[in-house]
Structure 1
């Protein structure tokens, strides 16, 4: 995979830029919406959770403003996954010309939309930092470990993108399955609630959700000043890279049949 990406890196970045531009093509503000949308979302969170509900994140001793930011951090993290998860099944079917008419490195496409989602997530985390500075104060030093705790998630999401992009060619109905599955994953992950609010009998099931350790690590390093466990991070990274490798291998093997199906 690394050799292929290095060989086509200029093409990859062109597709990332094109993907980002396409989302706002025809709009008056253009790419400014990349900032406007998360700002509006964050303002809504602030109003609903810090003004209306006056919510406080249990176990953290934080005020309502910080609790709203904690919820927003979970939404940013989940949105990165859902953006790739929802787009991947139709990725190849939306680009038939690259499959049928030209010799094109198809493995660039899943990576391009994943990196596009990374850009959107980076903007969200940047706004999270800005609002935290304004309403709460300087985050703890452990916040510098945020990219480290997100790295396993990037590899895992990229693997899911490769897997679904391939399966979507042979199983077109999968596009109808991913929206409810995506919603189920969101509500079965501690995106909008702390893990200790889950009843003890169900907490193990939620804790086994692959998203749970990522969400917990993001909040621990950014809000609570807790550094990630090195051994745990090594295990997560190894598992996610192994998963990505398997999904990429499956994609490269199955893409040979794409022209016959499409």
Structure 2
């Protein structure tokens, strides 16, 4: 635990610079540059509003009014969580392979690369949250419970980082893991309550959703942002403890295996 905490303290300036570089590189060469990070989720929110609200005329159980824009925001709550998790998980297996020049450097702290990836994904999730907040402000009421949003999201940040350390190490030794993770994430998207509430799932199948860690985060984001109620404190605490365990296990695994990276690459 002490080693992982010192990692942030000793490399905070390097981490910041690498996160900044990663964000800017994504939009390098485009005319709008960093503005794409704002326009992309905004465009997707418009698409969700049109298709799910007006074309399919969907309704979210009895939790919402018939306001079609509110329905789109409910979808967006789930997608911003999933997109954050998916971006980190899908990129992690190729993280070391794609930075072979850094792996070969003896003095470079490789364990910060998953942190950089997480920081970049956090930036884009923050932009999506800003768009969500603006949407809620325009369409409905901004509930004071939104102050719990960072607390609700924190477990998935720890979980993503823990998996990132594990997968970035595993990807060095098993190259097929990238293809496998891509399939898993596609399945996970539809196995999470993003486009529909859990209430529509048959009772005998709901256990699948209850073992999915994203389920609780997605549901709690909607509680504090859209419904104006408290998070499920029991699941928030359990999720935090489990995510913390994955975080430290992933970090320990990475530290124990990173010595063999340069030999394989």
Range class of TM-score, shorter chain: over 0.9
Q: Is 1:106 paired with 2:138?
A: no
Q: Does 1:171 align with 2:174?
A: yes
- The question of whether the paired residues in 1 share the 8 Å contact of 2:213 and 2:239 is answered with no
Which residue number corresponds to residue 67 of structure 1?
Answer: 71
The answer (yes or no) to whether the contact 2:96–2:168 under 8 Å persists in 1 is yes
C-alpha distance in structure 2 between counterparts of 1:213 and 1:229, whole Å? 8
**Equivalent position to 2:58, from 55, 59, 63:** 55
Secondary structure of the residue that 1:34 maps to in structure 2? helix
Distance (Å, rounded) in 2 between the aligned partners of 1:179 and 1:27: 27
Secondary structure in structure 1 of the residue aligned to 2:23? helix
Aligned counterpart, 1:118: 122
Runs of 5+ consecutive residues of structure 2 not aligned to the other structure: none
Structure 2 residue corresponding to 1:87, chosen from 86, 91, 103: 91
For residue 234 of structure 1, report the CA deviation from its aligned partner.
2.1
Which shows bigger deviation, 190-199 or 96-105?
A: 96-105
* Cα drift, residue 21 of structure 1: 0.7
Give the structure-1-normalised TM-score.
0.97
Asked if the contact 1:153/1:240 (under 8 Å) is kept, the reply is: yes
Q: Please say if 1:29 is aligned against 2:32.
A: yes
Deviates more, 1:232-241 or 1:150-159: 232-241
Distance 1:4 1:42 in 2: 37
1:40 equivalent to 2:36? Answer no
Query: Which among 242, 248, 252 is matched to residue 251 of structure 2?
Result: 248
What is the deviation of 1:49? 1.8
CA distance in 2, matches of 1:96, 1:205: 38
Note the C-alpha offset of 1:200: 1.3
Deviation at 1:210, TM superposition (A): 1.2
| 1:55/1:68 contact within 8 Å kept | no
Structure 2 counterparts to residues 156-235 of structure 1, below 5 A: 156-235=159-238
C-alpha RMSD of the superposition: 1.1
CA distance in 2, matches of 1:187, 1:231: 25
User: What's the TM-score once normalised by structure 2's chain length?
Assistant: 0.96
CA distance in 2, matches of 1:229, 1:248: 28
- CA deviations over 1:70-93 (Å, ceiling 9, x no partner): 001111110000100110000000
Q: What is the CA–CA distance in structure 2 between the aligned matches of 1:107 and 1:145, rounded to whole Å?
A: 30
| Equivalenced residues, count | 261
Instruction: Report if aligned partners of 2:220, 2:232 keep a CA contact under 8 Å in 1.
Output: no
Instruction: Give the drift of 1:57.
Output: 0.8
Task: Return 5+ residue gaps in structure 1 as ranges.
Answer: none
1:102, CA displacement in angstroms?
Answer: 4.5
Partner of 1:8: 11
* More displaced stretch, 95-104 vs 165-174: 95-104
Once the two structures are TM-superposed, the CA of residue 28 in structure 1 deviates from its matched residue by 1.2
